[in-house]
Structure 1
Amino acid sequence: MSEQHPATGAEDTSAPVGASPDAAVEPVDAAPRRGMSRRAVLGTVGAAAGVAAVGAGGFAAGRATADPLQRHAYDFFGTHQSGIVTPQQDRLHFAAFDLTTDSRARVISLLRKWTEAAATLMTGSELGSGAAGGAYAAPPDDTGEALGLPASGLTITFGFGPGLFDDRFGLADRRPAQLIDLPKFSGDTLDERYVGGDLCIQACADDPQVAVHAIRNLSRIAFGDAAIRWTQLGFGRTSSTTRAQDTPRNFMGFKDGTANLRAEDVDLVDEHVWASADDGEEWMAGGSYLVARRIRILAENWDRTSLQQQESDVGRTKGSGAPLSGGSEFTEPDFTVTGRDGEPLIRPDSHVALAHPSANGGARMLRRGYNFTDGADDLGRLDAGLFFLAYVRDPATQFVPIQNALSSHDVMTIEYLRTTGSALFAIPPGVPAGATLGSDGGAFVGEALFA
């Protein structure tokens, strides 16, 4: 929930060249559609859906037409994978996988299948012959729960965990130095159910069913080669990746990610997010590193804390999001301003002060976090918080020092937050536009690693 974790941004390569990074766009050079388009279905059954919506309290109509962005699709192809500097969607389904095969060839085959399927799903189409086609005596190619729904701005992002680089696949000498084993930070109460993974998939969309559909079908494709280790559903983004987006609020009621740098800050993204061949592993050039942290908020404790104490711990006003040193939300905090008692208006141990780039050697991150709630624990306390996602060029110099400072000195982190899940993944570059996809010899995400 760091004030820092400021995003960096770049021109969104999931959009066509020349398009604004702020806008969702129709796909260019998209993979040929196989099966029935979900958007085509909307036109075909429009009248019937309208009648059904009346009987269902307007749910169907609202689901399909509430947000014009839901009808748009992002391009799967590009220098970088989509879902990083893409305008952040409102819903998330994240999954970490363990590889269950020891065969390098089968891992490559899985990545080819996943790549082809992701390119299809992002256009708003069903997989293969769809949920109602193909051999009648065999399972359908698509599970079908997204039939009739638009593309909803779906992005699918793939990552590689440290386990991919063990002795099974002959990749140990190609593990990037940046793909470290994250340390256990002070205050971490990690639950092994939310730790690690050989592979990961981040599916973001403006409709939760579309995001869940993507993970469900990609998981089904992986059967026999990989199994889900853990998953997390997220809603209500807790950061903004473009300046066209308002600053959202987290479950503590504060605006989150005010200092997050946006996709328009191309130079900063190049500096802080995108890996370079000069970083040590040429196959990662154009990729990034994803830190995933499941952070539970001790809501019952926080909700009994006075507004004055909450604002003092955070370093910002709860209403406007302005720093306590004065100004508006986007005014740069001034840590030298003091009150009548001579003490700084922004406490040195506040979240804002400890997470600010000036306290961390200028380190910045591109955040794409989400709120989550998983019901209640055995004591009836709310199990909810922030699913923190941040893209960085080097976790050891950008994430670890900041987290060490927060976990050791930040009153808000120490008193009200508990990190229960943690993982780090290398996010390889995207698949170039014009590449041929297919399960037999087609291009795939991470292909340069296996070359």
Structure 2
Amino acid sequence: MSERISRRKMFGLGAAGVAAAGAGVVAVRAGSGGAVATSASVAATSDAVPFYGEHQAGIVTPAQDRLHFVSFDVTTEKKAELAELLQEWTAAAARMTQGGEAGAFGAVGGIPEAPPDDTGEALGLPASGLTLTVGFGESLFDDRFGLAARRPAALAPLPKFPGDALLPEISGGDICVQACAHDPQVAVHAIRNLARIGFGRVSVRWSQLGFGRTSSTSRAQATPRNLMGFKDGTNNLKLEDAKLLREQLWVAPGDGQDWMAGGSYLVTRKIRMMIETWDRTSLLEQEQIFGRNKGEGAPLGKKAEFDPIDFVAKDAAGEPVVKADAHVRLAHPSSNGGAHLLRRGYNYVDGSDGLGRLDAGLFFMAYQRDPRRQFVPVQLSLARKDSLNEYIKHVSSGLFACPGGVKDAGDYWGRALFS
């Protein structure tokens, strides 16, 4: 070819023209309740989750089985280029979440002499419940793009918690994207294509693959187990808890920055488990550490998983049945001023550390209305007193402001921030 085709121009078409050309692909939309009302009705793991709505999908959406999470650093110094990228990403996300390809021309269409518009590894695969959720880190609000005055107060850096062993290279970042799906190849495909579209404007800072969700976000889901073998997230916020979601999850218009209305704040923590040490610990001690039995997941002294926890009950020796340093006591809303979190964590195994020990644990993710009043006090309590700390180590941390949902094909991720 005599002229080289601009990839950015092609994807620019995807951001503007694809909104119309792809409207039929993403015509299913959430109603006034956003993804809350519709995600629960996803009938099969192959189905598509609506992309448009009041809130971003992937928060109260019933938790899928697989995760690919990525944190990007913005490399362009031009605000207009960053806004253009978010438009292109939104168009691609709208397509991919409905089972389509990332670009208007797909993996095998378009001009043969140009790179394909999609990487192609998801060709023939269904949508698999794919959701893509975006968030903005505190570092995006420095002096590069004139956004400092628009940083929400709730996006303040998290404090250093006792016992933290954080690695800066796998913490923080300007923009995050959470891809959840029932098929790992679908999730990886989505992140791969967003990174490809962003070439020259963003670079991957760190990423994490996850499997085996460790929380339920709907009462229709059974409670899963973490790699320590215990049920995780029994008392999690659920999409059916409409009143609590309004109070504890979604940012309200009067909370500060209006561009965050309908959004939520995401905290990520990569928590490595000392698997080999845990596996040599007695069952009795394991159950006392968690404050639940390992089989049914019932609170100690109770029979069923969802039985109310009795924090007053004493054993024959006059000691609390649920110990003062038990995880379930310290994390419970009644111990933290009524603070709830909506957790969407995943197990991870990243091979071994070279000494024959598994590099494995929990990639913790929690959404909330204000981390200063929710995650921070809960984690401070856990970091200071939790007997589980002997077996875990926090190695990564992130905090991101996830704006409200994309309303329609003329909207895009973060538009209210950049307008």
Q: Does the pair score TM above 0.5?
A: yes
In 2: Cα distance, 1:304 partner to 1:349 partner: 20
| Structure 2 match to 1:13 | 34
Aligned mate of 1:101, from 76, 84, 104: 76
Q: Is the 8 A contact 1:350 1:411 kept in 2?
A: yes
- Letter paired with 2:156: I
Cα deviation, residue 12, structure 1: 6.2
Whether 2:183 is the aligned partner of 1:207: answer yes
Whether 2:97 is the aligned partner of 1:122: answer yes
Whether 2:244 is the aligned partner of 1:268: answer yes
| Structure 2 match to 1:22 | 40
| Structure 1 match to 2:304 | 328
Whether 2:140 is the aligned partner of 1:164: answer yes
Cα deviation, residue 339, structure 1: 0.7
In 2: Cα distance, 1:304 partner to 1:128 partner: 54
Q: Is the 8 A contact 1:145 1:209 kept in 2?
A: yes
In 1: Cα distance, 2:302 partner to 2:404 partner: 41
Q: Is the 8 A contact 1:12 1:85 kept in 2?
A: no
The 1:160/1:288 distance shift into structure 2, 3 A limit, reads: same
Cα deviation, residue 132, structure 1: 1.2
| Structure 2 match to 1:311 | 287
The residue correspondences of 1:266-415 to structure 2 (distance < 5 A) are 266-412=242-388, 414-415=389-390
User: Secondary structure of the equivalent of 2:45?
Assistant: helix
In 1: Cα distance, 2:168 partner to 2:89 partner: 26
Q: Is the 8 A contact 2:33 2:54 kept in 1?
A: no
Cα deviation, residue 154, structure 1: 0.3
Q: Deviations over 1:347-387 (max 9, x none)?
A: 01100111111100000000100000000002221000000
In 1: Cα distance, 2:154 partner to 2:372 partner: 7
Cα deviation, residue 245, structure 1: 0.2
Q: Is the 8 A contact 2:73 2:204 kept in 1?
A: yes
| Structure 1 match to 2:412 | 444
Q: Is the 8 A contact 1:291 1:425 kept in 2?
A: yes
Cα deviation, residue 71, structure 1: 2.4
In 1: Cα distance, 2:41 partner to 2:280 partner: 41
| Structure 1 match to 2:6 | none
User: Secondary structure of the equivalent of 1:422?
Assistant: strand
In 1: Cα distance, 2:257 partner to 2:168 partner: 30
Q: Deviations over 1:198-243 (max 9, x none)?
A: 0000000000000000000000000010000000000000000001
- Letter paired with 1:158: V
The 1:128/1:292 distance shift into structure 2, 3 A limit, reads: same
In 2: Cα distance, 1:209 partner to 1:13 partner: 26
In 2: Cα distance, 1:22 partner to 1:108 partner: 32
- Letter paired with 1:23: S
Cα deviation, residue 249, structure 1: 0.2
| Structure 2 match to 1:50 | none
Whether 2:205 is the aligned partner of 1:229: answer yes
Q: Is the 8 A contact 1:11 1:264 kept in 2?
A: no
Percent identity of the aligned residues?
Answer: 59
Cα deviation, residue 11, structure 1: 9.0
Q: Is the 8 A contact 2:48 2:127 kept in 1?
A: yes
User: Secondary structure of the equivalent of 2:372?
Assistant: helix
Cα deviation, residue 325, structure 1: 2.6
Q: Is the 8 A contact 1:78 1:430 kept in 2?
A: yes
The 1:94/1:168 distance shift into structure 2, 3 A limit, reads: same
Whether 2:188 is the aligned partner of 1:188: answer no
In 2: Cα distance, 1:163 partner to 1:332 partner: 41
User: Secondary structure of the equivalent of 1:147?
Assistant: coil
Cα deviation, residue 278, structure 1: 0.8
User: Secondary structure of the equivalent of 2:396?
Assistant: strand
Q: Deviations over 1:88-143 (max 9, x none)?
A: 10000000000001100001000000011000001101122111111111110000
Question: Alignment RMSD, CA only?
Answer: 1.3
Q: Deviations over 1:12-41 (max 9, x none)?
A: 6226x6x4x42216xxxxxxxxxxxxxxxx
Cα deviation, residue 286, structure 1: 0.1
Whether 2:393 is the aligned partner of 1:418: answer yes
User: Secondary structure of the equivalent of 1:397?
Assistant: coil
In 2: Cα distance, 1:381 partner to 1:138 partner: 46
User: Secondary structure of the equivalent of 1:215?
Assistant: helix
Q: Deviations over 1:64-101 (max 9, x none)?
A: xxxxx232101110000000001110000000000001
Report which stretch shifted further, 145-154 or 321-330: 321-330
Whether 2:237 is the aligned partner of 1:219: answer no
- Letter paired with 1:243: R
Cα deviation, residue 157, structure 1: 0.4
In 1: Cα distance, 2:137 partner to 2:106 partner: 31
Cα deviation, residue 273, structure 1: 0.6
- Letter paired with 1:103: K
User: Secondary structure of the equivalent of 2:380?
Assistant: helix
In 1: Cα distance, 2:85 partner to 2:339 partner: 36
Q: Deviations over 1:288-335 (max 9, x none)?
A: 000000000000110000000000111000000000031310011101
The residue correspondences of 1:65-104 to structure 2 (distance < 5 A) are 69-104=44-79
| Structure 1 match to 2:405 | 430
- Structure with the greater relative contact order (CA < 8 A, sep ≥ 6): 1 or 2? 1
Q: Is the 8 A contact 2:32 2:53 kept in 1?
A: no
| Structure 2 match to 1:5 | none
In 1: Cα distance, 2:354 partner to 2:379 partner: 29
User: Secondary structure of the equivalent of 2:347?
Assistant: strand
User: Secondary structure of the equivalent of 1:178?
Assistant: helix
* Count of aligned pairs between the two proteins: 388
**TM-score normalised per structure 2:** 0.91
Whether 2:215 is the aligned partner of 1:239: answer yes
Q: Is the 8 A contact 1:12 1:86 kept in 2?
A: no
Moved over 6 A (4+): none
Q: Which runs of 5+ in 1 are unaligned?
A: 1-9, 26-68, 437-442
In 2: Cα distance, 1:101 partner to 1:361 partner: 42
